């Protein structure tokens, strides 16, 4: 039985991750309210009740308020911190009196960001720190120095990235002694290029030309845990259906509803099960504060184990809107 790459790093965690971008109210600098804390606490309690033990944050979420709210939850539950995995991200800077919207992987910014994250969370360490999207001005030597300092000080246990390709990860890893153990990407039934990037398809001749390992294969070979953000495609296949949808989306929704009914499960569990059926053991990040929707995901692991090759390819082909070459 293949295990998640993250488990090979001696990190025991759940297959599903609760994304906390919705914690903290509005995207502004208004104070955190008791209602904000209550909504987040209900989401965390629901996640824990279905076995989710990993939580994903970022220093920019709700202008830092997501981490502040999560920190208040940790403070109210003294025994919780050692039972969960906390992951946060840094590297995105909104426009301010210093400059425009930008990315910043400088050593100074990474260190300062982690200090701010830990202060808001009210904890001494992060289990995982991710660099949040690529920075074109990245100096990999500075990133390596920041990682070493944070590791040595005990402030961060492990490091990862988000939205990076194989070359960008290799660029960092060439200089950093600390391994990259996570790459967070947008993966779902609607966005399928991640499945098809390792093969060039000539529709006219019907030929396929391998051009070497793609990002997914690279991550598998390097034991990098791939996490999926927006794994439910913003609810497209499980209830949040826009007025105008494509024929492929309509047929996919119908197929998912049929499968959920036949298997006695939820549409969310079918959508996630399809994603998790892939042999790289994808770890979906469920970004919601809706407790019902969180509960609807609890059967996803079982559905991934039950899903046949034929069922998986039926969803894949229907979603892409055309026959496989």
If pLDDT is split at 50, 70 and 90, which confidence band does 2 have? confident
What local confidence, expressed as pLDDT, does residue 203 receive? Answer: 37
Q: With 60 as the cut, is the pLDDT of residue 199 above it?
A: no
- Whether residue 272 lies inside any domain: the answer is no
What local confidence, expressed as pLDDT, does residue 192 receive? Answer: 85
273-313 pLDDT, tens digit each: 999 999 999 999 999 999 999 999 999 999 999 999 999 99
What local confidence, expressed as pLDDT, does residue 204 receive? Answer: 37
- Whether residue 38 lies inside any domain: the answer is yes
Q: With 60 as the cut, is the pLDDT of residue 206 above it?
A: no
What local confidence, expressed as pLDDT, does residue 213 receive? Answer: 58
Q: With 80 as the cut, is the pLDDT of residue 212 above it?
A: no
Average model confidence (pLDDT) for the chain?
Answer: 92
Which of the following is catalytic: 61, 158, 218, 237? 61
What value, to the nearest 5°, has the Cα angle with vertex 320 and ends 318 and 325? 95
Query: Which whole-number Å values give the CA distances from 306 to 169, 274, 276, 300, 303, in the listed order?
Result: 33, 10, 11, 10, 5
- Whether residue 59 lies inside any domain: the answer is yes
Alpha carbon 207 to its chain centroid, in Å, reads 34
What local confidence, expressed as pLDDT, does residue 325 receive? Answer: 77
From 175-184, 241-250, 297-306, the region with the lowest mean pLDDT: 241-250
- Whether residue 72 lies inside any domain: the answer is yes
- Whether residue 76 lies inside any domain: the answer is yes
What local confidence, expressed as pLDDT, does residue 240 receive? Answer: 80
Q: With 60 as the cut, is the pLDDT of residue 211 above it?
A: no
Q: With 80 as the cut, is the pLDDT of residue 208 above it?
A: no
Mean pLDDT of 14-19: 97
Q: With 90 as the cut, is the pLDDT of residue 254 above it?
A: yes
- Whether residue 193 lies inside any domain: the answer is no
E strand spans, the chain: 17-19, 54-56, 85-90, 92-93, 102-103, 126-132, 156-162, 180-186, 199-202, 207-210, 225-229, 283-286
- The torsion angles phi and psi of 201, rounded to 5 degrees, stand at -110, 125
Give residue 61's domain range: 12-186
Q: How many domains does the chain have?
A: 1
Active site residue 175: no
CATH number for the domain harbouring residue 102: 3.20.20.100
Mean pLDDT of 53-73: 98
What local confidence, expressed as pLDDT, does residue 198 receive? Answer: 44
Query: Which whole-number Å values give the CA distances from 161 to 56, 123, 157, 205, 256, in the listed order?
Result: 13, 22, 14, 38, 32
Minimal CA–CA distance to 233: which of 245, 220, 224? 245
The answer to whether the CB of 28 falls within 8 A of the CB of 296 is: no
The pTM of the whole model exceeds 0.85 = yes
Q: With 90 as the cut, is the pLDDT of residue 242 above it?
A: no
What local confidence, expressed as pLDDT, does residue 210 receive? Answer: 35
What local confidence, expressed as pLDDT, does residue 214 receive? Answer: 84
- Whether residue 93 lies inside any domain: the answer is yes
Q: What is the largest CA-CA distance in the chain?
A: 63
- Whether residue 143 lies inside any domain: the answer is yes
Mean pLDDT of 60-81: 97
């Amino acid at each position: 039985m293949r295990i998640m790459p993250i488990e090979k790093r001696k990190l025991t965690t759940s297959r599903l991750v609760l994304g906390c971008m919705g914690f903290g109210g509005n995207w502004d600098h208004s104070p955190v309210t008791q209602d904000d804390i209550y909504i987040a606490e209900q989401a965390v309690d629901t996640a824990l009740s279905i076995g989710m033990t990993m939580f994903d944050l970022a220093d920019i979420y709700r202008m830092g308020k997501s981490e502040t709210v999560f920190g208040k939850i940790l403070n109210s539950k003294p025994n919780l911190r050692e039972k969960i995995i906390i992951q946060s991200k840094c590297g995105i800077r909104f426009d301010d009196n210093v400059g425009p919207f930008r990315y910043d992987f400088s050593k100074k910014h990474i260190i300062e960001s982690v200090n701010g994250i830990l202060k808001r969370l009210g904890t001494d360490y992060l289990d995982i720190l991710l660099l949040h999207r690529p920075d074109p001005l990245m100096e990999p030597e500075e990133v390596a120095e920041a990682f070493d300092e944070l590791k040595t000080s005990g402030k961060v246990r492990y490091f990862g990235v988000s939205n990076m390709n194989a070359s960008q990860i290799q660029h960092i890893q060439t200089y950093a002694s600390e391994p990259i153990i996570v790459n967070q990407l947008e993966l779902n039934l609607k966005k399928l290029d991640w499945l098809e990037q390792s093969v060039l398809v000539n529709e006219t001749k019907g030929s396929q030309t391998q051009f070497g390992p793609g990002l997914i294969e690279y991550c598998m070979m390097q034991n990098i845990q791939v996490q999926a953000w927006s794994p439910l495609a913003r609810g497209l296949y499980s209830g949040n259906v826009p007025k105008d949808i494509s024929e492929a989306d309509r047929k996919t929704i119908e197929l998912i509803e049929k499968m959920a009914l036949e298997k006695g499960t939820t549409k969310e569990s079918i959508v996630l099960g399809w994603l998790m059926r892939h042999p790289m053991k994808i770890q979906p990040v469920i970004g919601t504060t809706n407790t019902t929707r969180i509960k609807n995901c609890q059967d996803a692991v079982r559905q991934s184990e039950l899903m046949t090759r034929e069922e998986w390819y039926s969803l894949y082909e229907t979603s892409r809107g055309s026959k496989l070459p």
